Structure 1
Amino acid sequence: MRFPLRDTVAVAAGALAPFAAALVLMPFRTSVTHTNLALLLVVVVVAVSALGNRWAGALAALSAVAWFDFFHTEPYQSFHIQDRADVETAVLLLVVGVIVSQLAARGRTLERVAVTDASYLERLHGTTRLVRFSTSSDDIVRRVRQELTEVLELRACRFEGGQLTGRPPRLEPDGSVKVAGWIWDLEWQGWPDGEIELRAIAYGRYQGRFMMTPAPGSVPPPLEARLVAVDLASQAAAALDDDGVMAGSRP
């Protein structure tokens, strides 16, 4: 499975940021109550969750408890806790850290989903306007190629009219990808190698296909993005069907 760079950095921060914070707070462990030290570590957990994801946040919570125990409870430089109050503080740090980290990550996810959905809607709406008012099917195909490249983060995208040839991997109407008749696991395997076919079909009639080339090592987009891509291809097909276009290859 391929992980985005941001998630990798977030996981690394989840492990290291609480350690660094606990180390920085060492000079204050005799002058600041353990409860306040734990609260400061919770702030670090929230920061990691807000910038990363819920798994990074959970890891940060565990890391915060471990380094709170190691640096700020007696015996120092040991993962053993003698005082019952310190045990309770460590448990509360873990519980609060995990809960707050999940809430922070969920809030960030909801914000990202809202922004992304608005972007997808604008793309579909803009293409629909072009289909309605444009007299050039070439312009529509060009617009859809551009939108597909951006929505799916492709390296290249071209359009082929005419009959189907070969059996390349295919993006299906339900957003899945088929390779040689089998469903390809995008989450674990990433994009299949080579070009991926997205057929432009409207009113049950095939008008051509978009041949898409993902960037090497890129992470497949979410299902919502793939469904938007399918809708964009259908809009291009509808325009081609209206014009009666069955052209050869387009650049």
Structure 2
Amino acid sequence: MRYYVTRGPVSLLMAALCPLALTAVLLPWRGSLANTNVALLQVVVVVAVAALGHRLAGATAALSAAVWFDFFFTHPYEQLTISNSSDITTAVLLLLVGLAVSQLAARARRFQVIAVTDAGYLGRIHDAAALAHSATSAHAVADHVCAELVDLLELRGCRFEYGTLLGHPPRLEYDGSVTTGRRHWDADRLGLPSEVELRVFGNGRYVGRFMLDPTPGTIPSAQARLVAVTLAGQAGAALDSTLRQVETL
């Protein structure tokens, strides 16, 4: 529900109506309010819409604010014409400032999302590293990283295979790219192909691989794929260490 109000089609309707609603509230004081003050109040509405919605919603609110300001607060009233040059300047500035702040609000929100996302990725890496140093069971490490990969890459499933490589499935490479055979797979546009291997190395030795079962229609970001590779790397040293202990027994 929240998506439709802040990001979906409803957000555009709300963006168009909010400046009109403010206009209706201010209209009884049209004779006593300076037009510059009305324009500033409309800018506040545009900023609020852009902060809660998205870039297009902010632009829609800016255009709506300029239109209703012209229609109800400039002479001649209730016509989309302006006779006073200062009102023309105010209306143009209202539109331009509204568009500018909507872009800035959208960009600020994007940076906030990136910061939160990055913090989440760092948390996953930290947890995997802590488990890798403290776990005494290779299975515990493999199971933990599998669960993290399922959540991170929105997989249907994941399993860890020890030892010998079997077949030549598509592979998630160390740089986050995906290859099928000798060809590059456009994971940014197509998502992950059918079952993908993520090889795990510990102290330079091949340990095994995570077999990733993608969910059709999902497209994990390049950043998420890089974090997945990092998680596999964190697991590699712990898996190699525990396997060597088993070999010496």
Task: Compute the TM-score of the two structures, normalised by the length of structure 1.
Answer: 0.76
Residues 128, 145 of structure 2: 8 Å contact kept: yes
SS at match of 2:218: coil
Structure showing greater relative contact order (alpha-carbon pairs closer than 8 Å, 6 or more residues apart)? 1
- For structure 1, list consecutive stretches of 5 or more residues without a partner in the other structure: 246-251
63 and 22 in structure 1: CA distance in 2 versus 1, 3 angstrom threshold: closer
C-alpha separation in 2, matches of 1:136 and 1:129:
13
User: Where does residue 209 of structure 2 map in the other structure?
Assistant: 209
User: Where does residue 174 of structure 2 map in the other structure?
Assistant: 173
Question: Shift of the alpha carbon at 1:67?
Answer: 4.7
- For structure 2, list consecutive stretches of 5 or more residues without a partner in the other structure: 245-249
C-alpha separation in 2, matches of 1:54 and 1:114:
19
C-alpha separation in 1, matches of 2:128 and 2:73:
59
Q: 1:61-72, aligned counterparts within 5 Å?
A: 61-69=62-70, 72=73
User: Where does residue 18 of structure 1 map in the other structure?
Assistant: 15
Query: Which of the two has greater helix per residue?
Result: 2
Question: Shift of the alpha carbon at 1:56?
Answer: 4.2
53 and 25 in structure 1: CA distance in 2 versus 1, 3 angstrom threshold: closer
C-alpha separation in 1, matches of 2:226 and 2:85:
55
User: Where does residue 184 of structure 2 map in the other structure?
Assistant: 182
User: Where does residue 115 of structure 1 map in the other structure?
Assistant: 116
**Residues 166-208 of structure 1: CA deviation (Å, up to 9, x unaligned):** 333x33222233345124051xx24144333322234443322
Residues 69, 91 of structure 2: 8 Å contact kept: yes
Structure 1 vs Structure 2: percent identity of aligned residues?
Answer: 48
Question: Shift of the alpha carbon at 1:21?
Answer: 1.9
**Residues 125-175 of structure 1: CA deviation (Å, up to 9, x unaligned):** 22111111211000000010111122223332222333142333x332222
Question: Shift of the alpha carbon at 1:84?
Answer: 2.3
Number of positions where the alignment pairs a residue of Structure 1 with one of Structure 2 = 237
User: Where does residue 29 of structure 2 map in the other structure?
Assistant: 31
205 and 7 in structure 1: CA distance in 2 versus 1, 3 angstrom threshold: farther
**Residues 3-43 of structure 1: CA deviation (Å, up to 9, x unaligned):** xx949953635632332123324443362343333333322
Check if 1:147 corresponds to 2:148: yes
Q: CA RMSD in A?
A: 3.2
Letter matched to residue 15 of structure 2: P
76 and 8 in structure 1: CA distance in 2 versus 1, 3 angstrom threshold: same
SS at match of 1:220: coil
C-alpha separation in 1, matches of 2:105 and 2:142:
41
C-alpha separation in 2, matches of 1:208 and 1:76:
75
63 and 226 in structure 1: CA distance in 2 versus 1, 3 angstrom threshold: farther
C-alpha separation in 1, matches of 2:75 and 2:5:
33
Question: Shift of the alpha carbon at 1:210?
Answer: 2.0
Q: 1:217-232, aligned counterparts within 5 Å?
A: 217-221=217-221, 223-232=222-231
User: Where does residue 248 of structure 1 map in the other structure?
Assistant: none
Q: 1:70-149, aligned counterparts within 5 Å?
A: 72-73=73-74, 79-149=80-150
Letter matched to residue 117 of structure 1: D
Task: Compute the TM-score of the two structures, normalised by the length of structure 2.
Answer: 0.77
61 and 26 in structure 1: CA distance in 2 versus 1, 3 angstrom threshold: closer
